[in-house]
A and B are shown apart, each in its own frame.
Chain A
Amino acid sequence: MKKFLTILAMFASLALIAAACGSTLDEAAETATDAAGDAADAVDEAMEDDEAMEDDEAMEDDEAMEDDEAMEDGDAMAEHLGDGSLGTVIVEDGAEVQIRSLNAISGDVAFLGLPNQRGVEQAVVDYGDIKGFSVTSGEGLDDLCSADGGQAAAQQIVADEQIVGIIGTSCSGAATAAAPLISDAGMVMISGSNTSPALTSDQQGNAGPDWRVGYYRTAHNDLFQGAAMAEFVFNELGLTSAAAIHDGDPYTNGLADAFANAFSELGGEVTSVTGVAKEDTDMVPVLTEVAAGSPQALFFPIFQPAGDFVADQAGGVAGLEDTVLLAADGLLNDGFMGLEQSVGIHFSGPDTRFGTNTNQSTGVSAEDFLATYEANNGSAPEAPFWGHSYDATALLLDAIDAASWVDGDGNLNIDRQGVRDHLNSVRGYEGLIGTINCDDFGDCGSQKITIIEHLDAADIPASQANVVFEYAPQ
């Protein structure tokens, strides 16, 4: 018992120390910044503090210092965006501007993340230098398609204060955990393939619960894809009842729900929204469950291999013989479309008829991109979000260009707030994916959704070009 008390006392004293230090935190920070302010004439030193400062208390001194610099740097300062409220990144003469790619590049989602990462790398090469400074995306980071993975990687990114922004994540789940860190560090993130409405807005002017300042994306919002599919089924095909299946993945779950909501808003009857497990193989029970409601259409926005089994087994379940099968971009790839059972299925997805669309910053067209991609990697990209990542990268580099200036020492100064300001004001930007407009909550995608009908497992490009319905919100 005595020993226990000793230990308890030890912890108590530790806690007290911690408390003491904690309460003096604010004072300490203030004294530190004051000291820095006093030494403002030693500009170099102050600049270094400057980039690190993120505390609100630090902000005032920060701005004051910014003014000092403004006087020194004179007219070079006048041209850049931003008020310096988030600090500046200083790239020394001869160093590189740092951005990062954060995508799911390992495991079973690598098919999604790898093309994204390669899109980033190609865009960096195509874009060239910013004010004479070269850009690097460093080693591609992995978000592991999970919240924990996204957070760990984001931690790594924010630890390096030279990084201006990141392109990613691949998965929405990773973004919910990464965005707070990135946002807090004054950086920006532009995702090429997050689609969850929670990350941006509900399109009615309300921010999503996971939205953070500094978060942008060029991918579409799920709400649009759900609405597109619902409209297609209800108005184009003239079907009045439908069911949806998801596989327990946040993405598929969100899309299935978005579809169901949009469909019932149009006046259709949603017979069931149900789920399978990703590792399920025998889909007869779930299909029977769906069949019990006798829907005219079945939307399964899931991934491989579960999608293969649904497509394969649906025909054999009594009550689903005449049901129209609908899939989404998760299955819009060569692996699935090469299967015979996938013929006749309608796929919704972002408009991938990029064709000769050209990115206005790099002057590279989608065709050029694909040619380079195949030459570098031996095969065409497996998922359609490479273009989104490419445009995202070009946007970020444009923003860096707009928010930066070269100071008297030949160093490149990048204003973090300026980068955000630029991205907020993007309107009518021509990218590979079409025209890009950023709204107040970071949704920058072209939001064009197409629905194709798959005709021939042997000729996938023809099917991909066989657009039967287009959806573009105003």
Chain B
Amino acid sequence: MTAAVKVKGARRTGVDWFLLFLRVLLIGLIAIGLLAFIAQQIDPNNWFARLTHDGEAASRLSWPQFRGLIVTGLSQGAMYGLIALGYSMVYGVLGFINFAHGEVFMVGAFTGFIMSNKFDEAGWWDGPIFIPVILITILVSTLVATATAVIMERVAYRPLRGSPRLIPLITSIGVSFFIQNAVILLFGPGAKGYPPNPDWLEETIPVVGIEVKKLLVIVVAAISMAGLWYFVERTKTGKAMRAVAEDKEIASLMGIDVNKTIVTTFAVGGAMAGIAGILWGILFKSVIATTGFLPGIKAFTAAVVGGVGNLGGAMAGGVSLGSAEALAPLMLLEPLGVEGPSQLRDAVVFTLLILVLLVKPTGLFGERLSSEDRA
């Protein structure tokens, strides 16, 4: 990330000029898009809106619609944040992107699918004992996800400790590919449905206009985050994790079992992904073998946006990414006259990633990495 710290007075090359142009262009587009959005909220028939909409008036978003977008962005972002924690922690400790972390999340969601359907067959899912049943489901999914992450570390990553940086990254791509396709072969390629949620989960809280399940997602994510924060900042194991992230060799000299700590990191990250998986299942009631791939990459994006290694940043990054993803098509692209803006949602996410890396490579809230990982 040498680009960020440009020595004053150093000669600018063509690449620098181009990057400057790119930054200005992206920020400019965002600004124009936002202004146009505000303008068309005030007057859908203003000249710019007519210009971008082939001479017709633009449409205006109502407050409930806008609120719906924000809520969905927040709940989606909360899940991204939970997954991002795993990326962030592993990157902090081992310095590589665990591409397969998204698959841990998918395994969590899949376990939830199997459990919930078995409970549903027994008639317990929709009944009065829904709360204990879902707690058990969450527990089992989390355990399976944790186990997946730990086995992954043991089989694929530990033997590679100390090899060149890209090697574990490529391995993790292989792991991701393998798990995805193993699930396809074992359980079939189609989408797997969760049983219907109990009615009260589907209701919308009056006045605030949030669906109960989305609120649940946000609350559970917040609780998990708080628990994780406590674990990392206040317990001895957490301290060991931070020490290992800072410097493995010195940590081991201080009597910390580095291997064990790394396993713990994977386990905790896996647990967070598992929780995200089951929340995903409750929110969308469907899971498919490829469920983990894109959310996984987006979660990594969230981790980068928030600042890798920074747990609060990962959560904040997730939430901002989720919101951006929900809002940007309608607030930026549509006012600019892009047809079918929702198709370009993922493009928005990746553009955001590029923009953040260009403007503030250490993420919005700053990286916390050891010096060797920062290289």
> What residues of chain A have their CB less than 8 Å away from a CB belonging to chain B?
107-108, 110-111, 248, 271, 273-277, 279-282, 284-286, 288-289, 291-294, 304-305, 308-309, 312, 316-319, 335, 339-340
Contacts and interface: CB of A to CB of B under 8 A. Distances in A.
9 smallest A-B Cβ distances: which pairs? A318-B64, A305-B191, A286-B342, A284-B72, A292-B59, A275-B343, A274-B340, A275-B340, A318-B65
B189 A107 contact: yes
Given A274-B342, A281-B284, A316-B211, A292 B61 contact: yes
A319 B343 contact: no
12 contacts: A108-B189, A110-B189, A274-B343, A284-B68, A284-B326, A289-B334, A289-B342, A292-B60, A305-B191, A305-B286, A305-B288, A308-B285
Contact of B204 (A285, A316, A339): A316
Interface residues of B, number: 39
Contact of B65 (A276, A308, A317, A340): A317
Interface in B311-359: 325-327, 329-330, 334, 339-343, 345-346
A308 B191 contact: yes
A448 to B, nearest CB: 29
Contacts of B134: none
B170 interface: no
Interface of B: 59-62, 64-65, 67-69, 72, 76, 189-191, 193, 196, 204, 211, 280, 284-286, 288, 290-291, 294, 325-327, 329-330, 334, 339-343, 345-346
Given A108-B190, A110-B189, A308-B285, A292 B65 contact: yes
Nearest to A278: B290
A363 B7 CA distance: 85
A379 to B, nearest CB: 13
Contacts of B193: 308, 335, 339
Contact of B196 (A286, A335, A340): A340
Contact of A288 (B69, B191, B211, B284): B69
A248 B290 CA distance: 17
A304 B191 contact: yes
B68 A288 contact: yes
Contact of A308 (B189, B286, B339): B286
A79 B196 CA distance: 63
Contacts of A309: 284, 286
B210 to A, nearest CB: 10
B119 to A, nearest CB: 17
Contacts of B291: 281
A468 B98 CA distance: 53
A294 B61 CA distance: 10
A284 B191 contact: no
A172 B142 CA distance: 43
Nearest to A307: B191
Contacts of B68: 284, 288, 316-318
B343 A277 contact: yes
B175 to A, nearest CB: 20
A271 B53 CA distance: 12
Contacts of A292: 59-61, 65, 330
B55 to A, nearest CB: 16
B343 A276 contact: yes
B348 to A, nearest CB: 10
A293 B342 CA distance: 15
Contacts of A111: 190
A285 B326 contact: yes
A340 B193 CA distance: 12
A273 B334 CA distance: 13
Given A110-B189, A282-B76, A284-B72, A277 B286 contact: no
